A and B are shown apart, each in its own frame.
Chain A
Amino acid sequence: MTVEAIALGKSYGATRAVDDLSFTLEPGVVTGFLGPNGAGKSTTMRLMLGLDRGDGSTRWDGLPLRGHDHVTRVVGAHLDAKFFHPTRTARNHLRLMATEARVPPSRVDEVLALVGLTDVARKKPKGFSLGMGQRLGLAGAILAEPRVLLLDEPANGLDPQSIQWLRDFLRHYARQGNVVFVSSHLLSEMALMAEHLVVIAKGRMVADETLESFVARSTRNDVLVRCVDPAALRAALAAEGVEAVTDGADGLAVSGIDTDRVGDLAFRAGIALHELTRRTASLEDAFLELTSGDQEFRTGGDA
């Protein structure tokens, strides 16, 4: 199963919330969906599911969603941790979700156990914490063992153990040949969870590539070198066309070159090194850098 989003678009009045977004979700990997607040992530997911009216279309194995017999076996969506009736018990909520694909009651109990809600299965969810609501929503999404999971901020409100469980579960689910598409603003978690990224800002595509290549695009990937004579090393690097900037009292940050070459140049210039470290940008570094012009809200500057 592959999922093709084709030229998705949506306007609210004069504001273009989603603009000509096209991407393909492949099975076997967790695809992270990133974007600043207000970038259009949730709107995009709703457009994919046909919940919002807009431009473009989404093909689920080549068909629109309504072209499939049992939709809940095709896609399981978790869009909000509070999408339940406050007085319908957790178990009955899942029984309701189970009807479309005729999922047996035993599977309802199995999923409740999987997400750790067995003890509250017969309780009304109006008193559930955000984390419990997330678990119930996730339980509903995976109930019919769909070939696509589409999750909007599923880690919100989860404790660290639950986040680790979610990460392991989603990676395992993807490895079984399923599509997993998950949005999150927890970039450190996304770095551990996702193998592929779709990044949008102001409704437009910023990146659709592997996590590795996305992070590699950051200028914050550099080499830190500390030595007895930074000025001399800087001159030696400049002679080779390599740019370096001061980093601390006795350090230089060198871009566009690896540690081996910096070491060789320093050796040839007769400069003793105290430290030679390759610094890799984090997903957060790359994300902030590549979406810096598209934040709805900025700190330390004009809003």
Chain B
Amino acid sequence: MIAALRYETVRIATIRSTAVSLVLAFLVGAGLGYLVAEPFSAAFDDAGNPIGDPVIDWYGAFGTPLALTAVFAAVIASQSIGQEYRFGLIRLTLTAFPQRARILAAKVLVVVVAAVVVALTSYAGSWAALAVRGSAQPVGEAPDPTYLLRGVLYVALVALSAFALAGITRQTAVGIAIPIVSGLIVEQILAAVLADRAQWLVRILPWSTGARWSQPAPDSLPDGSFVPYYYAGWQALAVLGVWVVALLLLQTTLFLRRDA
């Protein structure tokens, strides 16, 4: 297993797009973080004049860029399996590591580590932006200790979904495109169409639900019934996590059975 992990680490570290993705993650974290960290007034007097000290969306400065950062992690993840098929390298890989489950496990682990590094790099960019704004420490509300962790987990889950899709289809582009296109377009349309007919289905759409990782969960439906009408926070991550597990299981089955 150590050899397989070493192989995957060297493989991911010796293609330029990995370094490019990390640089972009930092720049996006810094750029969007700086824009989100624009100080604003939260309270006003009767005449409409701001009162009190300006506040900044400290958590938003970290969390907002992750929507794009997750795409960079998805690129690295998709390439780690899709390009193996595209360039025939999978045959070299599986010759050197005939125990397929072992090399696949190594790939998954390295993708997770890479996604965490991408997320932390984005955070570093955001922190730098906040430092420039003069607010490198949390201000305002008490810090949510799990917020940053949830963000990292979200990026890792998007990366794993991209990895699984690229592995299932043996296409890098599919792994990158589906989480984006589905999350931003297809699931939004489905949510609009199915809102009244199949609310349960709308609640478990993978990428649009996962993207609510940063939001607080609503308590109940607008009509007062007990079930929340969408999942958010940890629940949203759990929904995406179940999808990721299902995709990885399908990918593993295919990877173990089909010709290289």
By a beta-carbon cutoff of 8 Å, the part of chain A in contact with chain B is: 46, 49-53, 64-66, 71-72, 75, 77, 79-80, 82-89, 92-93, 95-97, 99-100, 102, 140
Query: Quick one: CB contact mask for B1-45 with A, threshold 8 Å, 1 for yes?
Result: 001001100110011110000000000000000000000000000
Measured between C-beta atoms, what is the minimum distance from A12 to chain B in Å?
Answer: 10
Q: Give the total of B residues in contact with A, Cβ under 8 Å.
A: 25
Residue of B at shortest CB range from A47? B259
Task: Say whether B257 faces chain A, with CB atoms less than 8 Å apart.
Answer: yes
Q: Find B89's partner among A64, A65, A83 (CB 8 Å cutoff).
A: A83
B98 interface neighbour in A52, A66, A99, Cβ under 8 Å: A66
Q: Contacts of A53 on B, CB cut-off 8 Å?
A: 257-259
State in angstroms the CA–CA spacing of A102 and B16 once bound together.
Answer: 23
Cβ-defined contact, A88 with B94, below 8 A: no
Number of A-B contacts (CB under 8 A): 78
| A51–B6 touching, CB < 8 Å | no
A-side binding surface: helix, strand, loop or mixed?
Answer: loop
> CB-CB < 8 A to B215: which residues of A?
none
Q: Which residue of B lies closest to A102 (CB)?
A: B3
**B195 part of interface (Cβ distance < 8 Å):** no
A51-B14 in contact given A83-B89, A96-B7 (Cβ < 8 Å): no
Tell me if B131 is interfacial: C-beta within 8 Å of chain A: no
The residue from A52, A71, A79, A82 contacting B87, defined by CB atoms under 8 A apart: A82
* Complex Cα gap A100–B6 (Å): 8
Chain A residues contacting B10 (CB-CB under 8 Å) are 92, 95-96, 99
Q: Does B169 contact A (CB under 8 A)?
A: no
A102 proximity list for chain B (CB < 8 A):
3
Task: Determine if B15 and A50 form an interchain contact, defined as CB atoms under 8 angstroms apart.
Answer: no
CB distance from A107 to the nearest CB of B (A): 15
Within 8 A of A (CB), among B112-127: none
* Sampled A-B contacts (16; CB under 8 Å): A51-B95, A64-B98, A66-B98, A71-B96, A71-B98, A77-B91, A80-B88, A82-B88, A83-B89, A85-B83, A92-B10, A92-B14, A95-B10, A96-B7, A100-B96, A102-B3
